[in-house]
Amino acid sequence: MDICMEQVIDMVHSVKPFFMDNAMSRDVTVKGLADFVTKADTSVQSRLFSELSKHYPGIQFMGEEDHMQAVDFSRPMWILDPIDGTTNLIYSYCHSAVSLGYYENKAISAAVIYNPFTEETFYAVRGQGAFLNGRRIRVTQKTALKDSLIAIGTSPYDKEMAEDNFHIFKEVFKHSLDIRRSGSAALDLAYVASGRVDGFLERNLKPWDYSAGALLVEEAGGQVTNYSLSPLDYSKNQDILASNREIHRELQKVVMS
Ligand code: 2AM
Ligand code: CA
């Protein structure tokens, strides 16, 4: 299916008022440990699903607030996180984004990540490069982990992983320039793509957390795998390792040490 990126980006931009509506972002339901949904999340999702199905009829949807509804991975689908960084939104941290990917043939072929607080729109089309507000973006050229800035995600809803995770963070911290933790996996991946960090890692991310960001990183010249260096399987949760490609093996060795 041909996707008109301009039109899809316009649809994504149209949900900005939901992010800015304090009543909606303070209308919180607890889904699980450190796992929240607000009225803003559900409103963004229903608006985008209804707009996308009007313009692209017959395409399946997978969205965070539908709890991994039954979808057929042999057919195309939209993969949506209506708000990635919901905890940030609840705290007015101003670092949250819509993350939308178009999946077909076992890969992501188009992606948009939009942060309404900074008015930054990251997007990519497979084979055509990655862009930020219309300008081409590329990953950094750092070749050594010791000179690299690495974003980490703490998997806050999986506290039983804390010992393992914080061991990894300590090793990465010791072997790199420094670490960052933003609270939005989608923006972390967009930041790898745009050269604001050199790498990113987080365990047990769901397809809507990483799908759009993975295409951005690849189209910006970077690499995304799981922690064992295997290619991503978009039908599953994944431990995500993303980088500018140059430092990928070195970062992976530290992660697995
Ligand atoms: P969210 O804000 O859409 O919930 C934070 O470490 C990152 O993990 C965010 O991208 C966050 O997305 C995501 N996240 C939060 N809860 C999660 C869960 N239960 N499973 C997987 N990812 C989750
Ligand atoms: Ca979300």
For residue 41 and ligand 1, the question of a CB distance below 6 A is answered with: no
Domains and CATH numbers, the chain: 5-137 (3.30.540.10), 145-255 (3.40.190.80)
Nearest-angstrom CA–CA distance, 86 and 73: 27
Residue 67 pLDDT: 54
| 38 CA to centre of ligand 1 in angstroms | 14
Q: What mean pLDDT do residues 12-31 have? A: 93
pLDDT > 70? residue 68? no
Residue 65 pLDDT: 81
pLDDT > 80? residue 156? yes
For residue 81 and ligand 1, the question of a CB distance below 6 A is answered with: yes
pLDDT > 80? residue 57? yes
pLDDT > 80? residue 209? yes
Residue 200 pLDDT: 99
User: pLDDT tens across 176-198, in order?
Assistant: 999 999 999 999 999 999 999 99
| 232 CA to centre of ligand 2 in angstroms | 20
| 161 CA to centre of ligand 2 in angstroms | 20
Query: Cα torsion for 246, 191, 11, 39, to the nearest 10°?
Result: 130
pLDDT > 90? residue 118? yes
Atom of ligand 1 nearest to the CA of 185: 10
Cα angle 236-211-88, degrees, rounded to a multiple of 5: 105
CB 105 within 8 A of CB 111: no
Long-range contact set of residues 27-30: C-beta below 8 Å, sequence gap at least 24: 28/90
Q: What mean pLDDT do residues 200-228 have? A: 98
Nearest-angstrom CA–CA distance, 198 and 180: 11
Q: Which residues of 240-250 are buried (b: 16+ CB within 10 A; e: fewer)?
A: bbbbbbbbbeb
Provide CB contacts within 8 A for 185, sequence distance 6+: 84, 153, 200, 202, 205, 209, 210, 213, 240
